Amino acid sequence: MDSSQYNISEISSLPEHSGVYFFYSSDNQVIYVGKAKNLKARVSQYFHKKVNTKRLYMLINQIDYLRIMVTQTESDALILENQMIKKYNPKYNVLLKDDKTYPYICITNDEFPRILITRSKRNKKHRYFGPYPNSSSVRQVLDLLQKLFKLRTCSNSYFKHRSRPCLLYQIKRCSGPCVGLVSGDDYAQDLKQTLSLLQGNGEDVIAFYLKRMQNASDNQNFEDAAEYRDMIQSLQLFIQDTMQNEHHQSLDIIVAQSLVSGFLIHVNQYRSNQMESRKEYFFPEANGFIEDVIRQFFYQYYTDPYVMKSLPKTTLLYSPGLEMENISALVKSMKLRINLKHRASTNSERTFLKTAQTGMQFAVSRHANQAQYYLPAFIKLASVFNDGDWKFIDCVDISHFNGKHTNAACVRFSSSGPLKSSFRSYNLDTGNDDYASMRSFIQKRFNPEKPSSLLPPNLLLIDGGRGQLSSIYQALQKTPVEKLHLLSICKAPGRKSGEETYYMLSLDQGVTKVELDTDVKRMLENLRDHAHRFAITRQRKKFLKTSLHSNLLDIPGLGPQRVTSLIHHFGGLELLSKASIDQIVKVPGISKAMAEKIHTLVHKP
């Protein structure tokens, strides 16, 4: 494999061979990675072909030099391109990230095993089934299993401290093992049938209950026989639906469109003529030619291990002006057994495509409205700092409860609005010292030893005054971050909205007060409010998890044994936090006055 560096003026000397090219900025950062069947022809297109989009023009203007890596085949270049995108995380490439994990059905390793939905496989002693393509399908499976086999779903703490069966027993969704209403052998038999069904042996389960139904009928236990009959019918329908899902033609519809603020892709997944899932992917930084952006997305999407478990038979790819040759070659090189189409050929495909296009129109309109609101404010704010186009503004907010459980919340806006996938929260041990908290946040956010997957923002907005601004600046000097502008928003007397004071930090003038346009101030206030809400939400969750137990012990007369009894009665701190005074009084040893104190504590804002 060859690797060489070229200046822009040396493009004509590039080899006419397959490979991967890397565009570098003047600060030696990889800003774009692409693959080519013919390196010379492909790279020349960037500089000799007429540029008709602002985003592509912006990319070209930032290219200082390029490197290439020659490969033996185009397929090798495709694989190498994907590896290099993940390695360098170039700002103008598509990097498909989906933090959401897929759901599983879990059977725990307990005396009376519990059945539940989970998104992680942490305990090796438990048994897991899945992953399932979306949460609705796994809930449907769990609902059927509860109706048929009545396994418990409650937590171990809740299970151990029950004195009477819960509501699920009353509605025949649980057999009541917590209070001995089902024998261990009968529960084990229900568990065996549950596992058999989840493992795909549905016919064996039906045969088992057919025998039971026949025995009940022979013994003239007609109510039991009728119940078994209903179970068998439900099982037959479930197996029939499963078979349809496996053999019915499936379809993915991918609609892609380039926007001023980024690149938008919709994926509608249909199985058995029913919509299985709909996802929207927005890439504010993606750049380059449209076919490259879609090809990179297509490769990353269909190499996701969870997507590969349920590949469609047909993928309908729609994007105005897209040349399908590259994508068709990609499908062939990936050896995907997918029929790739760019036109709908059946009535159902036309209907589904129309639905996807309608969804895309609403998304485009939403992004356009947000860009109309945020983009002018971005441009105006960048001009205040004598800077060019900005992509991201971050805002940090520090929160704590009486000096404990300090938390730094950092939210991100692009010129299209909030980027919730980029919101981050950091636990700090700095008490109620705002200055120390700000410094600690910077150390964590921009730690060179543990670099963040997020690109640095153009501007960091601080909810505070001059002191916090200076503290942030001092901490930044110890990080490798460059060209990060700082701005603080200081609350007005009486916290009156719209009367905040703003301070900016510049190298030549230091910290100075700055007057901003009304649109800019409205956007910054919105950003600050997002950060504040996110901080409070995360902080309250942390408080419930780590602090409530110790705070309960601070109530006079409430010792460790009563606190333990209290938590066990409700099955956890979360359920206790939702309990009323009348419910708390029912706990043995808790008086009305004590219950009122507990209620006040657990509902503390």
Residues 213-265 have pLDDT tens digits of: 888 787 877 777 777 777 777 766 666 555 444 445 588 999 988 887 778 88
- Which residues are bridge partners to 462 per DSSP? 396, 488
SS3 of residue 80 by DSSP: helix
Question: Exposure of 480 by Cβ count < 10 A (0-12 exposed, 13-18 middle, 19+ buried)?
Answer: exposed
Structure tokens at 236: 């037959």
What confidence score (pLDDT) does residue 246 get?
A: 45
SS3 of residue 366 by DSSP: helix
Quick one: DSSP state of residue 482?
Answer: -
pLDDT at 45 over 70: yes
pTM tops 0.75, yes or no: no
502, 487 contact by CB (below 8 A): yes
What confidence score (pLDDT) does residue 245 get?
A: 47
Mean pLDDT over 168-191 rounds to: 89
Q: Which helix (H) or strand (E) holds 267?
A: strand 263-271
Mean pLDDT over 293-314 rounds to: 84
Instruction: Name the H helices within 132-221.
Output: 135-149, 156-160, 167-170, 184-198, 202-218
When pLDDT is cut at 50, 70 and 90, the band that residue 541 belongs to is low
Structure tokens at 362: 């609403």
Q: Which of 190-194, 298-302, 346-350, 547-551 has the lowest mean pLDDT?
A: 547-551
What confidence score (pLDDT) does residue 22 get?
A: 92
Q: Which helix (H) or strand (E) holds 340?
A: strand 339-341
When pLDDT is cut at 50, 70 and 90, the band that residue 490 belongs to is confident
pLDDT at 547 over 80: no
What confidence score (pLDDT) does residue 240 get?
A: 56
Whose CA is closest to 128, among 378, 138, 415? Answer: 138
Mean pLDDT over 23-30 rounds to: 85
pLDDT at 184 over 50: yes
What confidence score (pLDDT) does residue 494 get?
A: 63
pLDDT at 544 over 70: no
What proportion of the chain, given as a percentage, has pLDDT over 90?
5
Question: Can you give the length of the chain in residues?
Answer: 605
Quick one: DSSP state of residue 480?
Answer: S
SS3 of residue 14 by DSSP: coil
Beta strands in 349-403 (DSSP E): 392-401
Quick one: DSSP state of residue 422?
Answer: G
The mean of the pLDDT values for the chain is 80
